A and B are shown apart, each in its own frame.
Chain A
Amino acid sequence: MAKKKEPIWIARELSRCSGCRKCEIACSLAHENRVWPEASRVRVFMLVPGLEFPHLCAQCEDYPCVKACPFKALSISNETAAVLVNAKACTACGKCINACPGRIPHLHPSKNKIVICDLCKGDPQCVKVCHEGGYNVLTKVPRRDISCKLYARRPEEVTRDLAAKFYGERGEEFI
């Protein structure tokens, strides 16, 4: 009998992001069989040049998005702890976006459904390409007692933090 998979998490070190966006390419190829940045479950934001970072589901401990869904379209994977979207039940109402502290989910650009990282059934493709490049912004780790929710942050908040780190006093003027 196959061993039950241990839930995983994607640890992230955002300041190492090069902005290569290979995570978007890999994710959209895996899920859509196209190179399609806007349909990617992980999206690289660049609100300020030099401050690129991947924005993807953090699998909060309390899953506010799952709770907020009026149509029970979202569920939690037993295997990986990812949020799974039932496309048939999803009405693209956007309630999960508002429930997410990082406003991470977004609508699929052509289908009437939300897109959320599904951790590629335990083998995240974004992690793979990020490590091939040696950037290691995204790293697969066992999901143990991690404060996942800290990483559900809005793009502006992440940008502010990175701006402070890289651009110091001038950081704020670019946001």
Chain B
Amino acid sequence: MILGYAGKLLEVDLSTEKTKQVRLKDYVLKDYVGGRGLAAKILWDRLGRKWEKTDPLGPENILLFLTGPLTGFFPGGRICVSGKSPQSNGVVGSTVGGEFGIELRCAGYDGIIVTGKAKKPVYLFIKDSDAEIRDASHVWGKDAKQTMTLLTRECRELLKKRFPLYGEWKEPAMLYIGPAGENKVRTAVVAAKWTHAAGYGGYGAVMGSKNLKAVVVKGTGPLPKVADLEKVEKLTQEVCENAYENELWRRWGTGSGGYEVGAKTSSEPVRNWQEEWHDERSYGVDKFEDRVWVKQYWCDFGCPTSCLKVSVIRTGKFKGAITDNPDYELQAYLGPNLGLFTPEENVYMASVIDDLGLCGIQTGNVLGFAAELFQRKILTKKDLDGIALKWGNAEAFAKLARKIAFREGVGDLLAEGTYRAALKIGKMKNMDLLPYAVQSKGISIGAHGIRSGKDYPEIIAYACSVQGGDHTSTAGLPLDGGGSELMEIFNDSGVYCNFNSFGLRRNLKFEFYEAVTGLALTRKEWCRKKAVKTLQLQRAMLLLGGPDLKWNPKIHDDNPPRFYEPLPSGPYKGKTVGKADVQDEVKKYYKAAGWDENGIPTTGTLRKLGLQDVDKALERIRS
């Protein structure tokens, strides 16, 4: 058994209500590590043969919650959620911060596999090796805060009853869905701690499709034994000292971005990306800090950065709204992207989105899409069930967000996410609405534009990513370089927070991995032999797609049309990316990744990696 792992997963079949333990094989862990890599491997092995027919929202989909060997050791605890994505029909390794991964490892598991579908709403309660499926009908329909309050209370009482002598029980860790997940909204998140979310992928909808409201875990054991504890402690100290030295990064987190990414790098979504520049001083980090942050340093297990802040609105019409910072992504998508430029409106929107269990990025994207259609008179007030969706009207956007979460009226269309909504509304209106859909392969593009070239410099960042618009997993060349998706696969497979690795020496992550597992790993080996296997599996499943949509690389390995429009304002006015440049770069990327001219991994590439079965499956789309 490899050190740093529990060596086993908990498997729960919600249809039969049976649970079992699944041993992890060493050779699988060596190649796929954990989290995202392991998810790709498990999903391929179990669903690969029938991938195109597997409905992401059907009982046949598999939902995964996976840690990695670095979870709990490398500062900044996270957990990776995965499955067949109802957004891309491929696989996304979607991570979320918090203590869930630590509790799960302390309970003796590296992860959880959930299959089938419960007959009625349930939640899963895990205490060390014991797992039980419990009734969740009393929390079904409840928002994030109510769900956490009720289940924290209930599970602590259970623990107290079962272990009366133990003393006070700390709260167990929890992942849950809000009403949006229950209603299988494609932009629903798997959430933690009120404000944390695994958003990309849409796995909240997958939980909802399985009638699974929450997973609660209390582990009382230690984290797994490591190969070299002293080295782990030393490297941890190095990571922490590096973070502690970065005063403003700690103090502001990404909260300075809401102003700066607009004003300085001009790459922030403004009114559905019609612009990427704004210079609204009302949206400065000073305003957030002075007006709404009541706790300046907030973080998850082992984190030295504390990029999170707790925000509360104490006065005015949004009084009582509570959320985190919001971080840059939500500042952008639930701020300038909707024409909102005050901390109060932004905190209000973020708290509404959190409570409903929606993804702030992708719901902000679909709200902006709808507002642009309203601006262009493509969608009327009547189409929007009486809502005048004007830029800058926070209450109108909040109202529409609720409709999306409950799939009411027009919300039912928008609940399909921007891409699918564009197709459906386009059909109704007999128009091509994709020019207004800022997404890649069904996944909304994160709040970092590429037109100015000053923020995300890769013009194929989203076009070639195996996770579409996910801004935390962007494609870039060279394939073994710092801007490559292969390095992001390491973060998501080791499962820790990448924010704590900024500014560290290049090899530290790999040294950390070796200190935990005892397995030597070089960056070169990672890129050429290991991460690339995960990349090919994800690419294969993305291209197989289905059942409702499939991607044609010739059409879909591209930027959204909006990114070819020149920036209309700001210091980089007139800048855009050239279509021919993108096509050139895509070709180069195909070559570097070992894909043919149609973007499909070649037989040679796959055989060299020992992925013969993938090669065989891809015959289905090679024609």
Contact = CB atoms under 8 A, between A and B. Distances in A.
Contact of A167 (B99, B102, B300, B312): B312
Contact of A18 (B72, B149, B298): B298
A174 B170 CA distance: 16
B89 to A, nearest CB: 33
Contacts of B398: none
B217 interface: no
A170 B304 CA distance: 29
A103 B167 contact: yes
B476 to A, nearest CB: 32
A29 B298 contact: no
Q: Which 10 A-B pairs have the closest CB atoms?
A: A106-B167, A36-B222, A109-B220, A34-B222, A94-B165, A18-B297, A50-B310, A49-B193, A38-B220, A35-B223
Contact of A37 (B106, B233, B306, B320): B106
B167 A166 contact: no
A166 B233 contact: no
A167 B311 CA distance: 9
Contacts of B225: 34
B295 A50 contact: yes
B572 interface: no
Q: Please report whether the interface of chain B is mostly helix, strand, loop or mixed according to DSSP.
A: loop
A87 interface: no
B73 A35 contact: yes
A86 to B, nearest CB: 18
Given A36-B106, A155-B168, A21 B240 contact: no
B227 to A, nearest CB: 14
B72 A35 contact: yes
A34 B166 contact: no
29 contacts: A18-B295, A18-B298, A18-B299, A18-B306, A20-B301, A20-B306, A35-B72, A36-B106, A38-B106, A44-B170, A45-B170, A45-B171, A46-B99, A46-B171, A50-B298, A55-B168, A94-B165, A94-B166, A94-B167, A97-B167, A97-B168, A107-B165, A109-B221, A132-B240, A168-B312, A170-B320, A174-B148, A174-B149, A175-B149
A19 B170 contact: no
Given A29-B233, A50-B295, A94-B167, A39 B310 contact: no
A114 to B, nearest CB: 8
A50 B297 contact: no
Contacts of A60: none
Interface of B: 72-73, 99, 102, 106, 145, 148-149, 152, 156, 164-168, 170-171, 193-195, 219-223, 225, 229, 233, 240, 244, 294-295, 297-304, 306, 310, 312, 314, 320, 322
Contacts of B164: 94
A45 B171 CA distance: 7
Nearest to A100: B167
B465 to A, nearest CB: 31
A50 to B, nearest CB: 4
Interface in A118-175: 132-135, 154-155, 166-170, 173-175
Given A36-B223, A45-B171, A166 B295 contact: yes
Given A94-B165, A166-B294, 18 more contacts: A15-B295, A19-B299, A20-B300, A21-B301, A22-B240, A35-B222, A38-B219, A43-B170, A45-B171, A46-B193, A49-B193, A50-B194, A103-B167, A132-B244, A134-B244, A166-B312, A170-B322, A173-B145
Contacts of B221: 36, 38, 109-110
A168 B194 CA distance: 17
A25 B298 CA distance: 17
Contacts of A29: 233
B167 A174 contact: no
Given A21-B301, A46-B171, A106 B306 contact: no
A139 B301 CA distance: 21
